[in-house]
Amino acid sequence: MATDTTPPVAPVEVGVGPLSAADVVAVARGNTPIVLAADALDAINTSRAIITELASDDTAHYGVSTGFGALATKHIPAERRTALQLSLIRSHAAGSGPAVEREVVRALMLLRLATLATGRTGIRPDTALAYADLLNHGITPVVHEYGSLGCSGDLAPLSHCALALLGEGWVDDADGHRRPAAEALAAAGLKPITLAEKEGLALINGTDGMLGQLLLALHDLDALMTAADIAAAMSVEVLLGTDAAFAADLIALRPHPGQADSAANLRTLLAGSGIMASHRDPDVCTRVQDAYSLRCSPQVHGAARDTFAHAHAVAGRELAAAIDNPVVTTDGRVESNGNFHGAPVGYVLDFAAIAVADVASISERRTDRILDVARNQGLPAFLAADPGVDSGHMIAQYTAAGIVSELKRLAAPASVDSIPSSAMQEDHVSMGWAAARKLRRAVDGLTRVLAVEILTAARAMDLRAPLTPAPATRAVHDAIRTRVPAPGPDRFLTPDIDAVVDLIHTGALIGAATSTAVDPLR
């Protein structure tokens, strides 16, 4: 019998200090186990002692001895304060619509646990450990598309997660089977918890859903921006364009860091191109400059890179935050605050969606140029094998155009659309969750638009033979040809597009380009 020699994955330690973005992705997507650090348990014990002392106090303490939101002036007697927490979770688990993705739920759960670990919420250690157990056993509460206004945090999504701790509601188990929470807990050898004072609030009052989705999107967008540079390089090459506008000294005249990185990638990807060398002789090529969609690729891609860098900075600050209301301070006070408002995260989610739409837009314009016989420098119309009988990539461009049109709609900001709630107590909200949901769709759309461009450019590269492409773009072409046949009569195109989408998702195309590039890609 063979022995599994795969080394165990080191767990992510959740302590008082902030998690990294990589930790969140590893737990959300890679099922990396987690462990609560000793300093976290100490901090949790310390703040819990403060809440325990206040639990029998007649003085009004929000969320401990009062109702919530517009009911904050309602005094709750000591004997009803644990029932208050149970009622909070049940009433706030009011989401509706389709279930959101497993990785989103795992990300938001990990981020809520990270706040619990700071010792600023008054949670009991056993409750925090039970929350960690859900993640480690692969039990994923069913969280719905609609329900969060992004203030006070992502209340409904987090309430569905807290409900599962109580053995109520629905979850997906580690095998992906949907079942009642109580049944899944029992099958995993776990027991439901009973909430104590303040714990219901501690479990639901954070920006964890919108932040988790931002971190996942940024992880994907970092790779997609390299893929966008690959797509642009291939398009410049097959359209017999020039790399002169990407020269380092010209790019340095406008010192935006993202622009410099994108231009450096284009120079690296196009180095050694036989196709480009074929028309460098000024007696042969009379073209002075390329169309904007080619020449300005580093400017557009670079602006998007800088936008995402700003979003990374905001996400990093949010990862270092301890968000709850009320919050337990280091000197023993329990204070109400507004740190749960999702504006900082909501703004960058919207900002990122704008950049995504524009990168997709310039990509689609390059695709269209490759297909247009009036502009593609001698390639057949739509790259068809027999134009007229065959349509080539005509409708693939329609697909890209349709996605770009939707991305423009998704670029309309959610964060400007506040709707008052809770009888005007919560009279300005962030809509950060909605901004996060549309960004996820936008990231998927950008991936598909880039896949259409790369697929089209690879076909054009074949049609430029016997001219030889650059080593890096040729490696990308060859990686595509392991999954997609060479040009020929029309065929079912959806599998070809999906294959390139998969090659982008897995990093295979970036890996291919990097394997032969003269310099590392940025």
Q: Where are the beta strands (DSSP E) in 157-201?
A: 170-172, 178-180
Options 62, 131, 347, 398, the catalytic residue: 62
- Residue appearing with tokens 């005094």: 75
**Pairing mode, strands 96-99 and 34-36:** unpaired
CB 306 within 8 A of CB 256: yes
| CA-based nearest residue to 342, from 448, 262, 413, 440 | 413
Residue 62 a catalytic site member? yes
3-class SS of residue 501:
helix
3-class SS of residue 519:
coil
Q: How many other C-beta atoms are found inside a 10 Å radius of the C-beta of residue 115?
A: 24
Q: HEC profile for 273-314?
A: CHHHHCCCCCCCCCCCCCCHHHHCHHHHHHHHHHHHHHHHHH
Biggest CA pair distance of the chain: 92
How far is residue 298's CA from residue 250's CA, in Å, rounded to a whole number? 12
How far is residue 162's CA from residue 247's CA, in Å, rounded to a whole number? 55
Q: 184 is written with which tokens? A: 């899944």
How far is residue 339's CA from residue 322's CA, in Å, rounded to a whole number? 9
How far is residue 107's CA from residue 283's CA, in Å, rounded to a whole number? 58
CA distance to 379, 468, 478, per residue, from 240 (Å): 11, 12, 20
DSSP labels for 335-349? E---TT--HHHHHHH
Q: 97 is written with which tokens? A: 């619509």
Q: Any residues with CB less than 8 A from the CB of 382 and at least 6 apart, and which?
A: 371, 373, 390, 391, 392, 393, 394
Residues taking part in catalysis: 62
